[in-house]
Structure 1
Amino acid sequence: MPRRPLLRNLALTAQTVGEHVTDDPVLLALQVSRRLPRAVSERAAGLLTRARGAGVVRALGHEMRGEREAALAALEARRGSPVHRADAALGLGRPDLTAALLEAVAPDERGAGWSAAAARLAAHRGDLEEAARLAARHPRNRHLARRMAGERDTFRGVAPSLPTKTGHTPAPGRVLHVLTNSLPHTGSGYAQRSHSILASLRDGGFEVEAVTRPGYPVQIGVPWAAERDVVDGIAYQRLLPARLAQGQAARLQQHAELLAAHVRRTRPALLHTTTHFTNAVAVEAVARAFGIPWVYEVRGQLADTWAAVRGPEALESERYRLFQEREAEAARRADGVVTLGEGMRDRLLAAGVAEDAVVLCPNAVGGAFTAEPEDRDVARARLGWDVPEDAFVVGTVSSLVDYEGLDTLLRAAALLAPRCPELRVHIAGDGVARPGLQALAGRLGIAHLCSFPGRVARADARWHHAALDAFIVPRRDLPVTRSVTPMKTVEASATGRPVVASDLPALAELVDHGRTGLLVPAEDPAALADALARLAADPAERARLGAAGRQWALATRTWEANARRYRELYARLGVTAPVR
């Protein structure tokens, strides 16, 4: 049985909750509301929207229902503390309203709460120095001040320091992956990719293990977590101290020390980590201390992901500039670099990473997705769908966040529905955008045509793919979506489904227009509606596109092919799998 350090985990849980309650209580309430089961959320939202007094409470209820405009109106009404309303406005993505509410507070009334809210606004805008200064204005905000100062220092290049470790004898072919999160507690594309890589390396003869960031998964609400999980024979070790260091800079040092202790026990010959740069900074310190090579895998452009929900002014901020500098520096300093797509490789080369150091290992498929796809009607029956036999069902299996552009899909469906009565929309997944998407479907008058089943188990994902007539990826046109290639389109193609995607460089790497799917202008509901109408009217074309997509995926996007690239990279760094 795995060891479960319950007392340690409870102490860590108490620290995490306490920090959120002290530093950012309104954001904590918003995050908790988004994690509630749908039935509980709807009941609670009804009670909150009818509450008298505090506008924050009513705003929270409206946000839980996806009624963003009503939530903001509740905050603009003069009910309750303007500081609390300012915090809530920031959580709802309205820094302008936050600034106005804070500015309206008289200077002699700007106490600890005001300073904390102003610091969070500065951090949201990417002004790291101002955030640290404002947080330090009042002694009651000492925890927040440490957090803001630690983040500033980390982005400015503070790194862990470890003494040289003597007597380290690496075990041949033993590789340790250092991850942000993992199965079984997180089912994201990141976690799935990590698991697939580890399994493919193990099958290639390497001895592999993974270790996750300090505090995970207790910090995401799993206080019963074990010190070690084993999934499909892959071990995931947890770093679970009783208390995490205060501030990001101090936490980086703690990460390096905990990782070093694990490396001393397990004797890996190579360390392999992933974005973002804080992982790289800790891993580099450990690798240099033990004299072993390390690999940095760039899976996204996280500075662009951060900026995507903040508007164009974020691109000029201190945080964005330093974020890009630290990411480029981490890639240049690594002994080997892996990335997912051509666009991402081009950005690395432009940042000064040596061309021969970069290895392209795209998102891929394996296991169930390489097996013969299930029949569409069989998949619908298995999932219990109550749709007409001739229903034309389009949709996605995805994280529901704003940059995925799923509101464009709903608007396209509203345009298409009058001329395509058999249309249905299926959006599987969860995320902060889900309540708003459901509310939008209602406003567009197509709620009866749409299904939102929430997050689906990984084992069921391929059934949701197979039940669709077309897989839709209507991403917005943003720097992050132009460069980062998602996994879901490859899985859809492997399932034999045509993919309709925004015509962006990253998606054009995955969808061959007219051969494996269709590309349409981003954020253009009319163009998307026309593409869907074309597929609805021509089942033969859907079959042709889907078959070509599957052929492409199996020929070019498998974990077996990627494993060869990883083996070649590791061999170049002096690490090979033992002959068995």
Structure 2
Amino acid sequence: MTRVLHVLDHSLPMHSGYTFRTRAILKAQQAMGFEVRSITGIRHKAEGPDVEEADGLLFHRTEGTAAGPAGLREMREIGLFADSIDRLVRDWRPDVLHAHSPSLCGAAAGRVARRHGIPLVYEIRAFWEDAAVGNGTGSEGSLKYRLTRALENRVVGRADAVVTICDGLRIDLIARGVPAEKISKMPNGVDLDLFGTPPARDAALARELGLEAQGKPCPVIGFIGSFYDYEGLDDLIAAMPLLLARQPEARLLLVGGGPREEALRAQAAASPAAEAIRFIGRVPHHEVERYYALADVMAYPRKKSRLTDLVTPLKPLEAMAQGKLVAASDVGGHRELMTHGVNGTLFAPDDPAACAAALGDLLAARESWDALRSAGRRHVRDRHDWAVNARHYRDVYQMVAPLHLQKRLETTA
């Protein structure tokens, strides 16, 4: 039985898009017959034991803190993480190290892989220098941005195989000089066993939230996720007065939280559409489907940037799996997931009027809803079902074993 040690930034029981993708990968690999464990770095902040079981998966933790000026602090962090990985490798003897971005994980895993002669697979979910720009903690072209990018390039160069979640990231890596044959794509997916059977609409919850008018359900636009600037929720709120001019009973349901929450609440309170906007806050993951069931259309108005052009999000796929209509800004990451008029609706990014027009047209065209919903669910089932897609990891692992042996022979020749 092949043993795979996954090297992670953070994991369950923390909840994030990162941890949910990780869970799906690990569960799918277990079902395929792999023996899997994971280890997290010092950025996993949830309290818990040194070895923790969550949802039937085993996670080892790294203890300690790293201090010092930027750059030196990260090198110390990599050292702590590598030492922790090394101890686990000596004890458990995995066949493959599978590190997931950010590059700190890949750098730490790379040290151990070279020390023990173990193949290293490095999986990139986003370029974290671009993610920092998108969430407001970094700026493009800064020293930190350039150092993060340089470390990423170094990790990619030393890995035996690289996995990306989408074509945008893959094409960018090839432009940097990474051989195309070294890169595999493992797209975001949905665990249809968990997320493929939408619950019935909770009429009592809808009434409680004011999503009915004159005893009838209102048209509901929904967003469920993190409130980062790049998500474009300010444009969605700005679109609401224009949408109400066409659809007076429409409502906007915002579920989640994040750095932009306070500013978005203030914007909504000052809007002429204030009475039509509902902030729910964060909800437990097991209750998310209740809120999906209230929405007719899930909206994803991401702003145009390197991050949103290169990276495909998970949420639109979840929405399709739930049988929801999807309206999204016309950025690269969304175009990779949907075709306008077939399984979704695309509109110009950074443009509240375009967003309002697209939503208004969609709400007015009820005769098209069944076909769009069916196409969305079919798209997820055929191209983004984890139970199917995760099988490609077997090909990656089988590829790196002989490649790694060849590299070792060349080194010692």
TM-score by length of 2: 0.91
* Deviation for aligned residue 1:443: 0.9
CA contact (8 A) 1:471 1:492 kept: yes
Deviations 1:380-424 (A, max 9, x none): 546754321230000211111111000111111121113312110
1:295-322 Cα offsets, whole Å, 9 max, x none, are 11000021112233569x9333232223
Alpha-carbon distance in structure 2 between the residues aligned to 1:203 and 1:329: 33
- Of 317, 321, 324, which residue of structure 2 is paired with 1:494? 321
Q: How far did residue 192 of structure 1 move?
A: 0.1
Secondary structure in 1 aligned to 2:295?
coil
Establish whether residue 461 from structure 1 lines up as the match of residue 288 from structure 2: yes
1:175 to 2:4 alignment: yes
Taking the TM superposition and a 5 Å limit, the aligned residue runs for 1:363-402 are 363-368=188-193, 370-375=195-200, 378-381=201-204, 385-388=209-212, 389-402=216-229
Alignment counterpart, residue 512 of structure 1, candidates 309, 334, 339: 339
- Structure of larger gyration radius: 1
Q: Residues 492 and 310 (structure 1 numbering): CA distance in 2 closer, same or farther, change over 3 Å?
A: closer
Contact 1:177/1:273, CA 8 A, preserved across alignment = yes
Q: Distance in 1 between matches of 2:97 and 2:186?
A: 17
**Per the alignment, in what secondary structure is the counterpart of residue 398 of structure 1?**
strand
- Paired residue type of 1:307: V
Amino acid at match of 1:330: V
Q: 3-state DSSP class of the match of 1:407?
A: helix
- 237, 261, 268: which one aligns with 1:434: 261
Distance change (3 Å), C-alpha of 1:369 and 1:511: farther
Separation of aligned partners in 1, 2:198 and 2:44 = 35
Q: Alpha carbons of 1:320 and 1:461: their partners in 2 closer, same or farther (altered >3 Å)?
A: same
Aligned to 2:383: 556
- Deviation track 1:8-64 (CA, whole Å, cap 9, x = no partner) reads xxxxxxxxxxxxxxxxxxxxxxxxxxxxxxxxxxxxxxxxxxxxxxxxxxxxxxxxx
Q: Give 2:276's aligned residue.
A: 449
Map of 1:83-122 to 2, 5 A cutoff? none
Structure 2 counterpart of 1:357, one-letter code? K
| Cα separation, 2, equivalents of 1:245 and 1:287 | 25
User: What SS is found at the alignment partner of 1:574?
Assistant: helix
1:229 deviates by 2.3
What are the ranges of 5 or more consecutive residues in structure 1 without an aligned counterpart?
A: 1-171, 576-580
User: Is 1:308 the equivalent of 2:308?
Assistant: no
Deviation of 1:566 (Å)? 0.6
Give 2:290's aligned amino acid. W
* 1:194 CA displacement: 0.3
Inter-partner Cα distance in structure 2 for 1:555 and 1:308: 31
Report what 2:411 is aligned to: none
Residues in 1 aligned to 2:266 and 2:43: alpha-carbon distance in whole angstroms: 35
**Structure 1 residues 309 and 226 mapped into 2: Cα distance closer, same or farther (>3 Å)?**
closer
Of 12, 25, 37, 1:197 maps to 25
Amino acid at match of 1:285: R
CA distance in 2 between counterparts of 1:466 and 1:408 reads 24
2:145 to 320, 331, 352: 320
Percent of aligned pairs with the same amino acid: 34
Give the superposition deviation at 1:564: 1.0
Matched to 1:191, the amino acid is T
The aligned counterpart of 1:11 is none
Secondary structure of 2:222 counterpart: strand
Shift of 1:327: 1.3
Query: Using the alignment, how far apart are the partners of 2:238 and 2:184 within structure 1?
Result: 39
**Equivalent in the alignment of 2:53:** 230
Instruction: Deviation per CA, 1:158-185: give whole Å up to 9, x if none.
Output: xxxxxxxxxxxxxx4111111111111x
Contact 1:492 1:498 in 2 (8 A): yes
**Counterpart-to-counterpart distance in 2, 1:215 and 1:424:** 38
Taking the aligned partners of 2:135 and 2:196, their CA distance within structure 1 comes to: 38
CA contact (8 A) 2:319 2:326 kept: yes
Aligned pair partner of 1:284 in 110, 115, 126 = 110
Q: Secondary structure at the match of 1:429?
A: strand
Per the TM alignment, residue 450 of structure 1 is displaced from its structure 2 partner at its CA by 1.4
Structure 1 partner of 2:406: none
Distance in 2 of aligned mates of 1:392 and 1:267: 55
Alpha-carbon distance between aligned partners in 1 of 2:43 and 2:162, rounded to the nearest angstrom: 26
Contact kept in structure 2, 1:513 and 1:519, CA below 8 Å: yes
Q: Are the aligned partners of 2:298 and 2:324 in contact in 1 as well (CA < 8 Å)?
A: yes
2:234 corresponds to 1:411: no
Deviations 1:503-554 (A, max 9, x none): 0111101121001111000011111111111122222222221111111111
Match of 2:161 in 1: 336
CA distance in structure 2 between the partners assigned to 1:551 and 1:261 by the alignment: 45
1:527: which partner in 2? 354
Shift of 1:254: 1.6
What's the TM-score, normalizing by structure 1? 0.65
Aligned mates of 2:245, 2:84 — CA distance in 1? 60
Letter in 2 for 1:271: L
Secondary structure at the counterpart of residue 268 of structure 1: coil
Counterpart contact for 1:438–1:447, Cα < 8 Å: no
Aligned position for 1:298:
124
**Secondary structure of 2:198 counterpart:** coil
Name the structure with the higher helix share: 1
How do 1:536-555 and structure 2 match up within 5 A?
A: 536-555=363-382
SS of the residue corresponding to residue 512 of structure 1 reads: coil
Q: Within 2, Cα distance between the matches of 1:215 and 1:360?
A: 26
Question: Residues 371, 304 of structure 1: CA spacing in aligned structure 2 closer, same or farther, 3 A cutoff?
Answer: closer
The residue aligned with 2:330 is 503
Residues in 1 aligned to 2:357 and 2:228: alpha-carbon distance in whole angstroms: 24
**Count of aligned positions:** 394
8 Å contact 1:245–1:254 — kept in the other structure? no
- The RMSD of aligned alpha carbons is 2.0
Q: SS of the residue aligned with 1:314?
A: coil
Which deviations, in whole Å up to 9, do the C-alpha atoms of 1:325-349 show, x marking residues without a partner? 2212211211111111111110111
The 3 A distance-change label for structure 1 pair 215 and 494 is closer
Distance 1:414 1:328 in 2: 46
Aligned to 1:500, the other structure's residue is in SS state: strand
- The answer to whether the 8 A contact 2:62-2:80 is kept is no
Partner of 1:159: none
- Cα-to-partner distance string for 1:58-114 (whole Å, 9 max, x where unaligned): xxxxxxxxxxxxxxxxxxxxxxxxxxxxxxxxxxxxxxxxxxxxxxxxxxxxxxxxx
Structure 2 portions without partners, runs of 5+: 403-413
- Structure 1 position 479 matched with structure 2 position 314: no
Query: 1:263 and 2:78 equivalent?
Result: no
> In the TM superposition, what whole-angstrom CA distance separates every residue of 1:107-157 from its partner, at most 9, and x where no partner exists?
xxxxxxxxxxxxxxxxxxxxxxxxxxxxxxxxxxxxxxxxxxxxxxxxxxx
SS at match of 1:295: strand
Do the aligned partners of residues 524 and 234 (structure 1) sit closer, same or farther apart at CA in structure 2, a change above 3 Å counting?
same
For residues 355 and 287 of structure 1, the distance between their equivalents in structure 2, rounded to whole angstroms, comes to: 22
2:39 match: secondary structure: strand
CA distance in 2, matches of 1:396, 1:234: 30
